[in-house]
Amino acid sequence: MAENILSVKDLTVDYVLTSNDSLRAVDNVTFEVNTEEIFGIVGESGSGKTTLAKAVLRLLEPPGYIRSGYVNFGGVNLLEVPEEKLNKIRWEKISYIPQSSMNALNPLMKIKDQMTEVMKMHGFKGVSKEVINRRVEELLVSVGLAPEVSEMYPHELSGGMKQRVIIAMATIFNPTLIVADEPTTALDVVVQRGILQLLTKIKNEHKSSIVLVTHDIAIQAEVADKVAVMYAGKIVEIGDIRDVLKEPLHPYTQALISSIPSPLEKKALYGLSGVPPDLRRPPSGCRFYPRCKYFKSGLCDKVEPHLQKIGDRLVACHLYR
């Protein structure tokens, strides 16, 4: 039965720019992730999805500050738990794959050494070299890489191989949750498929859940179970992936989906006009109203819509009341 492993409630993050200027990058975000689930968060630039991912794991750095909210993981509020306990949880129970993590590999260390370093920091202390090396090779094979890769340096690996190393590192301790932020950017279409299918395999075999943050809704369609759509710091729609894609309720979701050119059917497409709002001075009422074709003057520009339950879906739009 679907069991809740991560519960985020009313999370709000501000970026403080100067003494009087700040912007709200994440505004009262609430969602839940269940066991063995790939939960997708989709949003374009400025939506706040990366800030959200970092905030959930308390990896945010100034000038970003968490203003309010709580993150319940296994009975513990990640936002309040002391640093030592949090460090134990990171890598072991939750792991994080940051954006362009491929470039986060140390160019001067062999793959084997980098993985060993992580292992030693988290409870593989005092374990013999043979055991560690064997685990390293095991992990590399589990992501489809040859064991010899452990002796290589990052510059000898292709983008797809580097990303698989990162994924291998993220699964060292069989975490219950993996947060992956744009894990396939800069990767080619075929390699992207390989990486996404690898994540699905990890979900199935290790019973992990994955929070997959990406700007490409088609990727979510391929691998996600549930999806949350973000716009200008807020979640505007959450639901089962099949439902959301077949029948998108929020106008932004509709625009996102209809702007994907399909290679097999030709039709005229229309994108969104305008630009995402400046979050230092967000529009009053609904943040999407300046670009929305269903804009109702007097309502959408005055009252902010909140997430409401419509069947199995949650939507934040005045069209549904």
Instruction: Write out the residues near another protein by the rule CB under 8 A.
Output: 17-18, 44-45, 144-146, 148-149, 156-161, 164, 186, 188-195, 197, 201, 215-219, 221-223, 241-242, 245-246, 255-257, 259-264, 266, 269-273, 275-276
Q: How far is the CB of 112 from another protein (least distance, A)?
A: 15
- The residue (of 78 and 111) whose beta carbon lies closer to another protein is 111
Closest CB 211 distance from another protein, rounded Å? 18
- The answer to whether 225 touches 37, Cβ cutoff 8 Å, is yes
CB 32 within 8 A of CB 8: yes
Q: Residue 241 carries which side chain, given as an amino acid letter?
A: I
Contact (Cβ atoms closer than 8 angstroms) between residue 63 and residue 70: no
Element (H, E) at 77: strand 76-77
3-class SS letters over 122-176: CCCCCCCHHHHHHHHHHHHHHCCCCHHHHHCCHHHCCHHHHHHHHHHHHCCCCCC
Shortest approach of another protein to residue 255 CB, angstroms?
5
Report the DSSP pairing between strands 209-214 and 38-42: parallel
In the complex, minimum distance from the CB of residue 197 to another protein, in angstroms, rounded to a whole number: 5
Nearer to another protein, 69 or 160 (CB): 160
Q: For 290, which DSSP code? A: G
Give backbone dihedrals phi and psi of 93, rounded to 5 degrees, phi first. Answer: -110, -35
Q: Indicate the residue among 45 and 128 with the shorter CB distance to another protein.
A: 45
Q: How far is the CB of 221 from another protein (least distance, A)?
A: 5
Nearest CA to 96 out of 137, 140, 55 is that of: 55
Residue 252 sits at the vertex; the CA angle it makes with 251 and 253, to the nearest 5 degrees, is 90
Closest CA to 210 of 172, 179, 170: 179
Return the number of the residue (15 or 91) whose C-beta is nearest another protein: 15
Q: Which is nearer to another protein, 92 or 240 (CB)?
A: 240
To another protein, the closest distance from the beta carbon of 144 in angstroms equals: 5
Closest distance of CB 297 from another protein, Å: 22
Q: Which two tokens stand for residue 317?
A: 């739009």
Q: Is 195 helix (H, G, I), strand (E, B) or coil?
A: helix
* Choice between 127 and 141, CB closer to another protein: 141
Nearer to another protein among residue 81 and residue 257 (C-beta): 257
CB 89 to another protein: min, Å: 31
Q: How far is Cα 257 from Cα 159, in angstroms, rounded to an integer?
A: 28
Nearer to another protein (CB atom), residue 236 or residue 241? 241
